[in-house]
Amino acid sequence: MAQWIILLMIISAVLCFVVIALAVDRGWMDPIDNAILDSMGETVMSDDPWGPPWFEETVVEISALGGYPVIVLATVFAAIVLWLASRRTGAVLLVAALSSGALASTVLKLAFDRSRPDFAEPMDRTFTASFPSGHAMISMVSWMTLAVVVSCYVPRRGLRVFILCAAFLLAITIGLSRVYLGVHWPSDVFAGWCIGLAWAGTAWLIAHNKIGVYHERVY
């Protein structure tokens, strides 16, 4: 039953991405994106976004958690630990999920080639197209896949749920930070979440079929 629920989540996430991608391609999302950003006022409409300087710096650092340097290092270190602990399926799954997700993100960006928001001075440098958000997608793929693999070796169900929820909330926070920094349209981030969740869900199915779940009772 759980696997059917995950499969349904994957299909729903893919369909949501397709709908958003179609709307972006036709220009239907432009009024919605602009309305959302306009409602945020100084957060993205000026060079002095809402909040004190320490908050701005905090958002920049949160955004960095979805960047390739942090994610690649975390994935490599986690994969090495799993490999040395003879959990090689988990190690391979982590590397495969990140590599394939990064490739998919690059291909999608090249295919849509959407321009970034240009009405505000962004607080972060960018080098690629806007749609979908690479930070939103890759953070959802990497952190959720890491959480899924780790949870396979955790005996307590409550702790497994906490790990998965924490990874999901981290990915959501990273995506929101990209909008605050003025480097992405809201639809970019939502689309990144959708396709990233579908990717992580696929990894979830593979992990539970190849690794299983640790059931040893802990007192």
Q: Write out pLDDT tens, residues 66-78.
A: 888 999 999 999 9
Q: Quote the pLDDT of residue 126.
A: 61
Query: What six digits make up the tokens of 14?
Result: 């893919």
d(CA 108, CA 130): 10
Q: Quote the pLDDT of residue 72.
A: 93
Specify whether the CB–CB gap between 43 and 180 falls below 8 A.
Answer: yes
Residue 217 lies in a domain: no
Specify whether the CB–CB gap between 90 and 211 falls below 8 A.
Answer: yes
Residue 215 lies in a domain: no
Read off the pLDDT of residues 75-115 as tens digits, 9 standing for 90 and up.
999 999 989 988 888 889 899 989 998 999 899 988 888 88
Residue 100 lies in a domain: yes
Residue 152 lies in a domain: yes
Residue 153 lies in a domain: yes
Residue 192 lies in a domain: yes
Q: Quote the pLDDT of residue 219.
A: 28
Q: Quote the pLDDT of residue 217.
A: 38
- Collect the ranges in the chain with pLDDT lower than 50: 215-219
Expressed as residue numbers, the domain containing 188 is 2-210
Give the orientation angle of helix 134-151 with respect to helix 186-210, to 10 degrees.
20
Q: Quote the pLDDT of residue 157.
A: 82
Residue 24 lies in a domain: yes
Q: Quote the pLDDT of residue 119.
A: 61
Residue 9: alpha-carbon gap to chain centroid? 15
Residue 180 lies in a domain: yes
Q: Quote the pLDDT of residue 50.
A: 67
Q: Quote the pLDDT of residue 189.
A: 94
Q: Quote the pLDDT of residue 124.
A: 53
Residue whose tokens read 């972060």: 124
Q: What is the pTM of this model?
A: 0.85
Tell me 24's DSSP state.
H
Domains: count for the chain:
1
